[in-house]
């Protein structure tokens, strides 16, 4: 059965044919690193990790390129830096915030069983690429300078709004962009804006400033995946304005008919039947939940709902997920690296139908059960959830990231110290070509 994916762009479930089967390319919008990632951020991380695993299975592990960006230039980051590091120079304060938060994010999604992406670019590393794109848009007549900013002219693109299905005269400006008098049209959006002295900025042909929200993803995806690539993913909330504006920038700058052939979006997340918010008292970070629940349980609870459907994240659901995995792990503990069966794979090939894939495991034998669990990113070989480890999984993954940085800097003494400290706590690290994994010492 060929892979079929629901494409937000075509509004239909289509057969997937990559541009190049030897280099299947996927870009997913990653976190803005100013605070701990919340459980809503976990859903796209888990969904597109599973798609990454499926693509690697179908086309080969070395034939898939997965890019997930880090947004490290944003007004929320500036505010956090000024609040947390008032005595430091702004650039250093911002770096402190983003490096710490990025490490926290990697640790948290790693504890949820997500593989590292092929590339994890930071927006601030691609400011020159963004300037180049803006220059191309100006040269092609798709952007203009006004009020000290460079803005995209939405009326210069006849089919602007195709992804979201919104007509131009019905649209309103994006949440992050105020409607200013200097705009030609209310829905035009900022490509480059001026920076005050207390804001980060870069010298550009349009003065000292910083990029708008959307341009970073156009620049980073083109740098790693080309002007047109296979799959672009993210949450449903990103369709408009973020993904709509990415498409506009990329297509108009490069003169291409599409930016990505397939656009995929996961559904919204609620907690106990209500929209998650701090004011409602139901806002949870991944780190907070990992303190009480194993990462496998949180991952399984997400995958029991189809990725395009809204999910209600409830305490009862988490408990049920724990019990189900507990029963299955008791059966599959002795089995290592088996393959999933045909019914399981057919379900996943049908637009990542995880509920059907999980349902097939109830009828599977022990070998196929273990194969299905392993395929979805569960590691019953590493540890059993019936005896929850006393160690903090997020801390382990944070230590792995720190050790990775030490090895990259050729500080092998520090790398060995981290490994030995974990070993003393009963955690064994295993270095493999695809990255470092861990397991509880038996």
Q: What is the pLDDT of residues 300-334, one digit of tens each?
A: 999 999 999 999 999 999 999 999 998 898 888 76
10-19, 29-38, 390-399: the lowest-pLDDT one: 390-399
**What are the start-end ranges of the H helices in 206-314?**
215-225, 244-254, 286-290, 295-303
Q: Output the pLDDT for position 380.
A: 64
Residue 382 has pLDDT above 50, yes or no: no
What percent of the chain lies above the pLDDT cut of 70?
Answer: 93
Straight-line distance from the first to the last Cα atom of the chain, in angstroms, rounded to the nearest whole number: 40
Q: Output the pLDDT for position 177.
A: 41
Burial of 149 per CB tally in 10 Å (0-12, 13-18, 19+): buried
Rounded to whole angstroms, how far apart are CA atoms 127 and 343?
Answer: 47
Residues 83-115 pLDDT 10s: 999 989 888 999 999 999 999 999 999 999 999
Cα 228–Cα 233–Cα 237 angle in degrees, nearest 5: 125
Residues 42-68 pLDDT 10s: 999 999 999 999 999 999 999 999 999
Q: What is the 3-state secondary structure (H, E, C) of 217-228?
A: HHHHHHHHHCCC
Rounded to whole angstroms, how far apart are CA atoms 251 and 339?
Answer: 41
Query: Do 121 and 262 fall within a single domain?
Result: yes
Cβ 261 vs Cβ 165: under 8 Å: no
Residue 193 has pLDDT above 80, yes or no: yes
In a domain, 150, yes or no: yes
Rounded to whole angstroms, how far apart are CA atoms 324 and 358?
Answer: 11
Q: Output the pLDDT for position 1.
A: 84
Rounded to whole angstroms, how far apart are CA atoms 266 and 308?
Answer: 5
Q: Output the pLDDT for position 383.
A: 44
Domain with 433, as residue range(s), is 389-442
Query: Do 400 and 261 fall within a single domain?
Result: no
Q: Output the pLDDT for position 227.
A: 98
In a domain, 435, yes or no: yes
In a domain, 298, yes or no: no
In a domain, 80, yes or no: yes
Q: Say which residue the tokens 């997913």 belong to.
A: 28
Cβ 153 vs Cβ 144: under 8 Å: yes
Query: Which residue, of 244, 269, 294, is where some domain finishes?
Result: 269
Residues 197-244 pLDDT 10s: 888 999 999 999 999 989 999 999 999 999 999 999 999 999 999 999
Buried b vs exposed e over 73-86: b needs ≥16 C-beta within 10 Å?
bbeebbebbbeebe
Q: What's the CATH number where 170 sits?
A: 3.40.50.620
Rounded to whole angstroms, how far apart are CA atoms 143 and 108?
Answer: 39
Residue 385 has pLDDT above 50, yes or no: no
Query: Do 407 and 262 fall within a single domain?
Result: no
Q: Output the pLDDT for position 431.
A: 85
Q: Output the pLDDT for position 174.
A: 41
Q: Output the pLDDT for position 441.
A: 59
Residue 145 has pLDDT above 80, yes or no: yes
**Number of compact structural domains in the chain:** 2
Q: How far is CA 125 from CA 47, 349, 431, in A?
A: 27, 36, 28
Query: Which residue, of 221, 241, 269, is where some domain finishes?
Result: 269
Residues 6+ apart with CB under 8 A from 435: 115, 116
Query: Which residue, of 269, 290, 316, is where some domain finishes?
Result: 269
Output the pTM of the full model: 0.84
In a domain, 281, yes or no: no
In a domain, 34, yes or no: yes
């Amino acid at each position: 059965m060929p892979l079929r994916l629901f494409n937000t762009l075509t509004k239909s479930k289509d057969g997937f044919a990559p541009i190049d089967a030897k280099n299947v390319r996927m870009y997913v919008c990653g976190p803005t690193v100013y605070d701990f990632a919340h459980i809503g951020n976990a859903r796209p991380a888990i969904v597109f990790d599973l798609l990454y695993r499926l693509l690697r299975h179908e086309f080969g592990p070395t034939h898939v390129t997965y890019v997930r960006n880090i947004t490290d230039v944003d007004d929320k980051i500036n505010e956090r830096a000024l609040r947390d590091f008032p005595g430091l120079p702004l650039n250093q304060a911002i770096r402190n915030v983003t490096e710490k938060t990025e490490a926290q994010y990697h640790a948290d999604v790693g504890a949820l069983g997500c593989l590292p992406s092929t590339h994890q670019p930071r927006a601030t590393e691609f400011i020159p690429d963004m300037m180049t794109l803006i220059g191309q848009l100006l040269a092609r007549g798709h952007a203009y300078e006004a009020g000290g900013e460079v803005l995209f002219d939405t009326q210069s693109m006849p089919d602007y709004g195709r992804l979201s299905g919104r007509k131009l005269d019905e649209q309103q400006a994006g949440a992050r962009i105020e409607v200013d008098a200097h705009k030609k049209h209310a829905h035009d959006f900022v490509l480059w804006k001026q920076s005050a002295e207390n804001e980060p900025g870069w010298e550009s042909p349009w003065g000292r400033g910083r990029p708008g929200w959307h341009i970073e993803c156009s620049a980073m995806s083109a740098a790693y995946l080309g002007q047109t690539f296979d799959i672009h993913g993210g949450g449903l909330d990103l369709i408009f304005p973020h993904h709509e504006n990415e498409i506009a920038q990329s297509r108009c700058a490069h003169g291409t008919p599409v930016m990505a052939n397939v656009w995929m979006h996961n559904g919204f997340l609620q907690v106990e039947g209500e929209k998650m918010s701090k004011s409602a008292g139901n806002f949870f970070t991944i780190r907070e939940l990992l303190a009480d629940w194993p990462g496998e349980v949180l991952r399984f609870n997400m995958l029991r709902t189809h990725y395009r459907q809204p999910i209600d994240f409830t305490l009862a659901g988490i408990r049920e997920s724990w019990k189900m995995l507990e029963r299955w792990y008791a059966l599959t503990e002795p089995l290592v690296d088996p393959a999933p069966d045909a019914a399981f794979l057919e379900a996943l090939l049908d637009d990542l139908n995880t509920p059907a894939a999980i349902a097939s495991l109830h009828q599977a034998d022990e070998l196929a059960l273990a194969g299905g669990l392993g395929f979805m990113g569960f590691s019953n070989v590493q540890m059993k959830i019936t005896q929850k480890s006393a160690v903090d999984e997020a801390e382990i993954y944070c230590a792995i990231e720190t050790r990775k940085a030490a090895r990259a800097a050729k500080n092998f003494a520090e790398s060995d110290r981290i490994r030995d400290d974990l070993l003393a706590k009963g955690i064994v690290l295993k270095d493999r070509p695809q990255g470092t994994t861990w397991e509880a010492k038996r």
